[in-house]
Amino acid sequence: MIATLAGGCFWCTEAIFKRLKGVDSTVPGYAGGSVENPTYELVCSGTTGHAEAIQIEFNPKIISFEKLLYVFFKLHDPTTLNQQGGDVGTQYRSAIFYHNDTQKQQALDSKNKIEKSGAYKDKIVTEIVPFSNFYEAENYHKDYFDNNRSQSYCQIVIDPKIQKLSKEFGTMIQESPAK
């Protein structure tokens, strides 16, 4: 099955989701915009409508879409509009691009459950919208964290998220990350 999620910088979301058991592959890219075959520079301009997203191929017998959404809501701030930390712009928005009616309903239920739990004091602004397109990012964005661990962004921003993942979801982590 396929899931398409946007939770800020795709370097972060890819690094997290590729470590979950049942995730077969993750691909960073651009989703939800109106420009065909956008580049990173064009998406960063804020004029394409695209969000930095990842497309996840997963085995629902091992990890459910609901579990992916649970991790998604826990490992980024779904209450900040068009921003995650220092990354600001519509390309960093929080979004779930559902592929079918079941995913849509599960996304709505998950968002409502998280809102009612009181986990966040502010309102969740995550968009739940139909999947329309996905364009793979340039090769240098793929496996960015694993290929650039000494880079300061990886150490300051991504590494703490990986540590949080390990602490909160240790039993869900696979020995070697997905491709």
Query: Which amino acid, one-letter code, is at 92?
Result: Y
CA distances for 30 relative to 49, 61, 115, 117, 165, angstroms: 9, 27, 27, 31, 24
- Catalytic choice (9, 12, 44, 154): 9
Give the C-alpha separation, 89 to 18, whole Å: 25
- The reply to whether 154 belongs to the active site is no
Give the C-alpha separation, 39 to 34, whole Å: 13
Active site (catalytic) residues: 9
